[in-house]
Structure 1
Amino acid sequence: MNDTAIDYARVFQALPGMVALLTPDLVYADVNEEFLRLAGRTREQMIGRYLFDVFPDNPNDPGASGMRNLAASLTRVAATGERDSMALQRYDVENPERPGEWEERYWSPVNAPVCDADGKVVLLVHRVEEVTELIRLRGGPAGGRARVLEAELYTRARELQELNERLRQAHAREREVALALQEAMLPARRQLGRHHAAVRYRPAVGALNVCGDWYDIVDLVGGHRMGVAVGDVVGHGLEAAGVMGQLRSALSAASRVAAGPAEALNVLGRYAHVVDGAESATAVTTFIDFDHHTITYSSAGHPPPALVQPDGRVEFLDQATDPPLDARPDPIPRPQAGTDYAEGATLVLYTDGLIERRGEDIDTGLARLAESLDRHRDEDPERLADAVLLELLPPGGATDDTALVIVRL
């Protein structure tokens, strides 16, 4: 069934709750059958008439405020285009069959805008939950107060549910924008001569902890050399994506002029000190010299890169590990180490989302990674990256970002 086959007028009339459509001038444009039944009115008494001509405040009650509160809510929705959930309201409604006789009623309204293609509010949806019987159920002053409180709690719970839904939608929109921003900033896979680099990024499941991970691949001056780095920013959403972009760009520039990876991280650490949101960020960078078959590396609080030799032996490069960026008030030179590799070896850099699991020691995750790399070492970098992600990430997705870079040396 498509939209053209649905009779939305009939759907509106069949809605189980009290629903009315008002113009921005608060004139009834339509009401459903349930509204008419519970309000005790006919369509002729409502359609085309001003809301408060149909339901005025009780003139016998100087303290009556229900209609005034409703008018303020509807006017606010018409002006802002935003939904408004009202607290429980008491209305005294005139009996249409006995003029001058007023009935005490309790309604819990929600008002929402209907906008045209240009975003202009053209109608107001006025949905009401009738809770009068709930208030009267036990009778008596004490029972009445208890039921009012219960109804208030019910209303607040519904408001909280609606607020959570709006927050979820806002987070989803932020997540989409942040992921698009991150995708635009992260480099694509690279080919340097016969050396191929495969890159992967997997966002976390849900809105939390997304968009803080990054990677970078740069050509280095002086010989046949490449710089490969990964990092992780604490936080989530657009703020983390923005910080990530700043740190990645700064390290990329520093790597091109630094004497080695330690010096590049020294520069990045000083830069992180003046970047809001860069606190406790981690990074590891490696300089690969393809002519001399060497790797120099330095880490700022990041999980160690893995070097897979052609025979399957996996070595974690953990001899130059230092605290995260901006961890020291007075930076000192960071350590640097180096290692040789055999032709056909594989270098693997990653972020903690690949190996860390709640309640599990990190060494368990590193061992799991080493086993997967050994098992699939003969695959090309693209297939190897897919196999590692498939085996290490939970089937339903991880709760943290995962970045992965694999270079065939």
Structure 2
Amino acid sequence: MTDETGARHRPVEVDFAAVFTAQPTAYLVMSPDLVIVEANPAYLELLGRTREELVGRYVFDAFPPAPESLDADGHNPLQLSFERARDTGVPDQLPLFRYEVTDLETGRSVPRAWSLISAPVPDEGGRTQLVLQRVEDVSDFLAERERVAEHRAEGTWARLDVLEADLFARSQELRAVLAAQEATARRLAATAQVVLQLADAETVEDVTDILAGAGLSAIGADGGAIALRDDDRGVVHVTMTPSLGTGAQRRFGTIDLDSRLPAAWTARTGETLVHETQAEAEAWSPEMREASEQSGQRSWITVPLTTGGRLIGSLLAGWRVDRAIPAAEVELVQAFAAQCAQALDRLQALTLERRSAERSRQLAEELQRSLLTEPVQPDHGQIAVRYLPATGTAQVGGDWYDAFHQADGSVDLVIGDVVGHDTGAAATMGQLRSLLRGIAVSGGPGPAAVLDTMDTAITQLGLATYATVGMGRLEWTSSGGTRLRWASAGHPPPVVLDAAGRLVVVPQAPGHLMLGVTPTSTRGETVLDLEDGATLLLYTDGLVERPGSDLDAGVAALCEVVTAAAALPLEELCDRVIDQLVDGRAADDVALVAVRLDRSSAGAPGRTPERYTEARATWRGGDPVPAPAEAGLEVELTSLRGLSGVRRQVREFLTSSLGPGSDEDVVDQAVLVIDELASNALRHGSRPAGLHLGDEGTRWVVRVTDSAPGRRPAPAGGRPAGQGGYGLYVVADLTSARGVHYGTDSKVVWAAFDKRPRSS
């Protein structure tokens, strides 16, 4: 069909399986190890076999070579041809090949002559995934040629000259047909590869990249574009292959949907447009003159992108020259467009799903954060909290923390995790949080009694939920100490450090069933006496659980991080724990409550501990960097989560360096210094980053390098210790020398520390 401009419209969908079946030329498809995968009917008829006799068999078991067909070295030329095509990625054509087949009428083997071509079918990485063989029986042609030779010998020259000319013309026609068939086979193979790639596309840009690569190869075009409708704005968004140029992308990246430009016309009407010359294109739309100038293309095929009866856009293929465009090419572009449309439809649905999930996640997070208020600050210490939502859109909701005063001045600490991850879980969390607060402050029952009453209330109120909750109460004793009373409903116990930074075991009290299972559950309490300087961490399982990893291993990693960072101010300790165990990508929600006890209130908010206010560290530029020692440890710093492995290597090196009877305090202090400098490089510097630890006899020297010379170490000053920034003072306390050197593209922060304990 044509319109007034001469443009042709050919809406056709191509079934390539039917094309393969209908091919009059015989084709055999094999795997790289030459096992038969498929054969078309023409091949089966030509060879006198059934599909069941061939598929799944090694090709030379199905067709054993005759001894006389082997070459002088005993090799099968046909097998060598298959292997050359497979290994080189280039089609391989054999000279005339003679092979016997069974005559279906007589049952006898008869010699036949074959023209054979082997072609590789590459995957997206360019490796051969299939071997395609085209088979042509030329026996009759050769017989005719031999008959001509006999007649020539008998002297029938005139007739033979005519016959020879006719045979030559037929041979040329045969060559042209074979060449066309080979081109079609290559494009079919490329199209199959494109289909595989489109299945993995995740963005419109991915689809365009496929079009620019394997797609253009499949359809034989010089450039292409994908145009998607935006009905809300009444425009078409066009994404082009790089071969069309940045000028065309800027000028025609967005066009009106009612434009006569082919991309918009076809996206609006669903008509296929074919313009074989620039003159035809300009006759269709004057704007095509500028389009051709910007893109360098003169002839075009524009086909609709349709899926599920919906017209979502158009696909364009362009060529740099005026050219005749056969119907087969239009059909190929239409087939390619059909595959692109399916991929784009899937991506649009996925985008809508992601947006909906993201809105749900944001709602759950906002609800959750609105309920997670700032904790109270006791007179006898400091409390810090953290909440980190999961990175997965369906994983937000359910975790909470709380800290509030009792009438007698004691402080209740709560950490909980509602089963589920959605807005419903976040809403239920809010109910449980309010319920627990109300029960806890009504008469001041102990933590175990609060949790038991919670179970009864959940049943009576019909909340139909499950949750793990840990609750602790800090009580200030008349003797100047602090007592922790702890009860658990299926929640792990807190991590507790004494004033020296050593782990304190929290025994499990009898009865710790999670909430919501039965209203008659009873729980016991664990009581611990804590000294000034002790640290508590209450956490949810998102901090320690990892897919495929044991929970005990996660808890052990947490304990290792906390003990290594015990000397840090509380806020910095929380940051260190989150950085090294989560590294910004939480698979589940993470809630954390940290407490540091200090009866003198030195750590209370708004006060700066005296030992931090003394300027005992100078981190200026230009300090000479000690040369690396020959005996040393070199480690690449890649992520905060990876620092646990770095700490193990450092500890092993330091312990080995000291030898038998090494001082654990010296090693612990050195690990703390190195961990502080390494984490600073990853948090405040840029990668690549690395660490060198050298042994200089009486001391160690650590050199930490990162790629951000413009980001200088900045010791905190004039603000509360709880707000962090005092890690460099800790380094100064524990080292004998330190400094920083700034280069053009990197900086080196270094510190030296003695192998003997430093006096406090």
- Common fold: TM-score over 0.5: yes
What residue in structure 1 maps to residue 391 of structure 2?
A: 205
1:16 is aligned, of 225, 237, 240, to 225
- Aligned positions of 1:2-401 closer than 5 A: 16-17=225-226, 29-36=258-265, 38-39=272-273, 42=284, 87-89=307-309, 109-110=311-312, 127-128=313-314, 136=331, 155-222=341-408, 224-257=409-442, 258-273=444-459, 279-291=465-477, 293-320=482-509, 322-328=512-518, 330-393=519-582, 395-401=583-589
| Secondary structure at the counterpart of residue 190 of structure 1 | coil
Instruction: Confirm or deny: 8 A CA contact 1:36 1:43 kept in the other structure.
Output: no
Return the offset for 1:130: 8.5
Instruction: Note closer, same or farther for the CA distance 1:39–1:381 as it changes in structure 2 (3 Å cut).
Output: same
Report the Cα distance in structure 2 between the residues aligned to 1:403 and 1:24, rounded to whole angstroms. 43
* Amino acid corresponding to residue 391 of structure 2 in structure 1: V
* Amino acid corresponding to residue 336 of structure 1 in structure 2: E
Give CA deviations for 1:146-165 in whole Å, capped at 9, x if unaligned. Answer: x7xx9877655433322111
Instruction: Note closer, same or farther for the CA distance 1:163–1:340 as it changes in structure 2 (3 Å cut).
Output: same
Return the offset for 1:33: 3.3
Report the Cα distance in structure 2 between the residues aligned to 1:245 and 1:21, rounded to whole angstroms. 41
Instruction: Confirm or deny: 8 A CA contact 2:410 2:475 kept in the other structure.
Output: yes
Instruction: Confirm or deny: 8 A CA contact 2:468 2:490 kept in the other structure.
Output: yes
Return the offset for 1:269: 2.0
| Secondary structure at the counterpart of residue 547 of structure 2 | coil
Report the Cα distance in structure 1 between the residues aligned to 2:258 and 2:524, rounded to whole angstroms. 74
Instruction: Confirm or deny: 8 A CA contact 1:21 1:29 kept in the other structure.
Output: no
Report the Cα distance in structure 2 between the residues aligned to 1:23 and 1:397, rounded to whole angstroms. 35
| Secondary structure at the counterpart of residue 188 of structure 1 | coil
Instruction: Confirm or deny: 8 A CA contact 1:88 1:155 kept in the other structure.
Output: no
Instruction: Note closer, same or farther for the CA distance 1:32–1:331 as it changes in structure 2 (3 Å cut).
Output: farther
* Amino acid corresponding to residue 525 of structure 2 in structure 1: Q
| Secondary structure at the counterpart of residue 192 of structure 1 | coil
Return the offset for 1:215: 0.2
Report the Cα distance in structure 1 between the residues aligned to 2:395 and 2:307, rounded to whole angstroms. 35
Return the offset for 1:332: 2.3
Return the offset for 1:265: 0.8
Instruction: Note closer, same or farther for the CA distance 1:173–1:318 as it changes in structure 2 (3 Å cut).
Output: farther
Return the offset for 1:216: 0.5
Between Structure 1 and Structure 2, how many residues are aligned? 310
* Amino acid corresponding to residue 200 of structure 1 in structure 2: R
Instruction: Note closer, same or farther for the CA distance 1:36–1:365 as it changes in structure 2 (3 Å cut).
Output: closer
Report the Cα distance in structure 2 between the residues aligned to 1:350 and 1:303, rounded to whole angstroms. 8
| Secondary structure at the counterpart of residue 252 of structure 1 | helix
| Secondary structure at the counterpart of residue 377 of structure 2 | strand
Return the offset for 1:217: 0.5
Report the Cα distance in structure 2 between the residues aligned to 1:24 and 1:167, rounded to whole angstroms. 21
Instruction: Confirm or deny: 8 A CA contact 1:304 1:316 kept in the other structure.
Output: no
* Amino acid corresponding to residue 361 of structure 1 in structure 2: D
Instruction: Confirm or deny: 8 A CA contact 2:404 2:411 kept in the other structure.
Output: yes
Return the offset for 1:272: 3.3
Return the offset for 1:325: 0.9
2:590 is aligned, of 381, 389, 402, to 402
Instruction: Confirm or deny: 8 A CA contact 2:261 2:285 kept in the other structure.
Output: no
Return the offset for 1:231: 0.5
Report the Cα distance in structure 2 between the residues aligned to 1:246 and 1:195, rounded to whole angstroms. 29
Report the Cα distance in structure 1 between the residues aligned to 2:564 and 2:230, rounded to whole angstroms. 65
**Identity of matched residues, %:** 30
**Structure 1: stretches of 5+ with no match in the other structure:** 1-13, 45-84, 90-107, 111-126, 139-143
| Secondary structure at the counterpart of residue 491 of structure 2 | coil
Return the offset for 1:196: 1.0
Report the Cα distance in structure 1 between the residues aligned to 2:581 and 2:231, rounded to whole angstroms. 55
Instruction: Note closer, same or farther for the CA distance 1:225–1:15 as it changes in structure 2 (3 Å cut).
Output: farther
Instruction: Note closer, same or farther for the CA distance 1:207–1:340 as it changes in structure 2 (3 Å cut).
Output: same
Report the Cα distance in structure 1 between the residues aligned to 2:229 and 2:411, rounded to whole angstroms. 66
Report the Cα distance in structure 2 between the residues aligned to 1:230 and 1:158, rounded to whole angstroms. 45
Instruction: Note closer, same or farther for the CA distance 1:221–1:318 as it changes in structure 2 (3 Å cut).
Output: same
| Secondary structure at the counterpart of residue 404 of structure 1 | strand
Report the Cα distance in structure 2 between the residues aligned to 1:368 and 1:130, rounded to whole angstroms. 56
Give CA deviations for 1:336-391 in whole Å, capped at 9, x if unaligned. Answer: 22111112211210111111222222222222222222222222221211122122
Return the offset for 1:283: 0.7
Return the offset for 1:307: 1.6
Q: Please, what is the CA RMSD of the aligned residues?
A: 3.6
Instruction: Note closer, same or farther for the CA distance 1:24–1:379 as it changes in structure 2 (3 Å cut).
Output: closer
* Amino acid corresponding to residue 166 of structure 1 in structure 2: L
Larger relative contact order, structure 1 or 2 (CA cutoff 8 Å, min sep 6): 1
Report the Cα distance in structure 1 between the residues aligned to 2:453 and 2:549, rounded to whole angstroms. 34
Report the Cα distance in structure 2 between the residues aligned to 1:324 and 1:220, rounded to whole angstroms. 24
What residue in structure 1 maps to residue 150 of structure 2?
A: none
Report the Cα distance in structure 1 between the residues aligned to 2:378 and 2:233, rounded to whole angstroms. 64
Give CA deviations for 1:30-74 in whole Å, capped at 9, x if unaligned. Answer: 343334584479469xxxxxxxxxxxxxxxxxxxxxxxxxxxxxx
Report the Cα distance in structure 1 between the residues aligned to 2:428 and 2:411, rounded to whole angstroms. 24
* Amino acid corresponding to residue 365 of structure 2 in structure 1: L
Report the Cα distance in structure 1 between the residues aligned to 2:226 and 2:521, rounded to whole angstroms. 68
**Structure 2: stretches of 5+ with no match in the other structure:** 1-222, 235-255, 267-271, 275-282, 287-304, 318-326, 598-760
Give CA deviations for 1:268-323 in whole Å, capped at 9, x if unaligned. Answer: 22333467776331110001102352111111111211221112221243413512
Return the offset for 1:189: 3.8
